[in-house]
Structures are given as C-alpha cells and as structure tokens.
Amino acid sequence: MQKVAISIGDLNGIGLEIALKAHDTIKQWVKPIYCINKKMLEKGTKLLNYKIPDDFEIAEVEGNFEIKPGTIDANSGEYSYKSFIKAIELAKDKKTDAISTLPINKEAWNKAGIKYKGHTEVLRDIFKKNAIMMLGCEDLYVALFTEHIPLKEVSKKVKKDTLIQFFIDFYKSTHFEKIGVLGLNPHAGDGGVLGDEEIKEIIPAIIKTNEILDKEIFYGPLVPDIAFTSKKGKYIAMYHDQGLAPLKALYFEKSINVSLNLPILRTSVDHGTAFDIAYKGIAKTLSYENAIKYILLHKN
C-alpha cells in the first residue's frame, strides 16, 4: 500500500477536520502519515469534539500554540508551512510515495514572514523545476500557464518559446491525447482586432509543439467564453481566473489541485481554509478524497 504524507494545512481552518473525517475512508486506499505533533492534534480534536483514531500515524512537526478557529494568524501560518516542509522531506527521503496537502492561508504565511505565496512556489524553489499547476477532476482538467500574478502582467508572459516549453512539460507529465489552449483575449483576439498575442505567440507555439512531439496534441486558440460549454476536456488557461472561474462553477466540490513536472507527486484539495466554517463540523471531504484517489490512479 502506498504511503502518503499529509500536510495538515492551517490549523485555524478546516484541514484537520477533513483529515479526521476522511481518515477511515482513505486508509483503505493508502497509508496516510499526518505531519502534525500530538499536542496540536489533541488541541484540534478537543475543539472538534472528535476522538483521535488509534491508527492515526503522525510525523512530528515542532510547534505549540493556541488554535484560533477562523483567524488569520502568524503561528498557524508558520505551522502549516512547517507541516508542508516535513511532507516534502518524507517524500524526498522515499519514506512516502506522494504528498497530499490540506489548505493553507496565504495571508497567514505572509504574517509569518514566509516568502512564498503558496505550495507550488515552494516546490519550484526546492526542486528547481517549473512545477505546473493543474486543477480539476476526471471530467475536466485545467492547467494554468500563469498563476498568482497581477492580471496586468499576464500578457508580458505569453511568449512563444515559454509556451512551447510549458506545453511539452505538460504533455510529458500527463500524456493527455487532446489539449485545448485558450486564447488570451476576448474572442481569442478576433483575428487580431482585439489583441494579437494569439497570432504572434500562441498559434506559433501550438504548431511548433505539435511538430516537436510529432503528434497533433494541442489545438486552439479557443475562444475562452465558450471553451467550457461541453463541461469536459483538458485545457490550458493563460491566467488564473480564466481557467478556475468556470472550473469551480462546474466542479467545485470534487475538483483537486495537482503539481506536475516534479520528481515527486503532490495533490491537494481545490479549496481554501474556509475560516467561516472552521471547527463547526460541517466541512466536506470529497475534494480531499479525490486528491488521494488521483495518487492511486497516477502514481507510477
């Protein structure tokens, strides 16, 4: 049975509740190892009025602070980062086969003085690889060409050579047979009337990548406002909200986040810390369960 390191996320949010609720389910698929210490686990379970399962294996992560449900806090931010680093260490040392992450809060990381904006940036820095963020479910997957950058910066990043490398890395990480590429501009530029990035950068990148791969894998550029009407497929979005707004409208509860193009496999829930419902016992576990299932299906 595969071992999976679970980074516990922000303890002021819903991560611990999800881990405890889903434990009996996911332990049938993998052997989870939770990156938390006993003291913090006891504090969290007391707030939730849950019992700690007898087979809830932990990998010690140093730290001791008061859990403040629904609060953006430097202590919980720092602890969620330490938990993630511990999970990475377990995977690097071959003590686990993959990582699955529960949600962190970016503002809490910032308050703790952590220089990264999120999990993916940490993975890029540690492994010195251009990790690709893909989100979705078996019906619909969307990869993000640009992620957490201001919208005004996106067009500067859309360049032929960078796109080609991204396309090749994405294909080699997934081996999807047909991948649609969204245009950057409304109506995919409308023949250059509404922007020429499609003509100058995106179309040449699609053509060249297919030549390199010697397969017709990539197609487009697709008009972004109608690309998702079939509710199925594999796509590359040029920027964050272009891909994630339709995805979450369609599959919010079941979609997951996957980090590709890395020497380790990392999956995650595709939702935040949900501070508004933290420790109320109503958090849903489907995204987390699907994140674990992805490891079962795709881990070599």
Please count the helices (runs of H) and the strands (runs of E) in the chain.
11, 11
Question: What are 188's two structure tokens?
Answer: 């995919």
Of 108, 135, 107, which Cα lies nearest the Cα of 120? 135
Total Cβ atoms within 10 A of residue 142: 25
Cα three-residue angle 40-43-48, rounded to 5 degrees:
125
Question: What are 150's two structure tokens?
Answer: 């201001």
| Domains, the chain | 1-131+259-300 (3.40.718.10), 138-253 (3.40.718.10)
Up-side HSE of residue 278: CA atoms within 13 Å toward CB?
A: 24
> For position 300, what pLDDT does the model report?
52
Of 28, 228, 20, 264, which Cα lies nearest the Cα of 142? 228
DSSP code for 98:
E
> For position 298, what pLDDT does the model report?
80
DSSP code for 129:
S
- Structural Rg of the chain based on CA atoms: 20
Amino acid identity at 154: V
Q: Is 235 helix (H, G, I), strand (E, B) or coil?
A: strand
> For position 148, what pLDDT does the model report?
86
pTM strictly above 0.85: yes
Q: Are 132 and 259 in contact (CB under 8 A)?
A: yes
Residues of the chain under the 50 pLDDT cut: none
SS (H, E, C) 270-299: CCCCCHHHCCCCCCCCHHHHHHHHHHHHHC
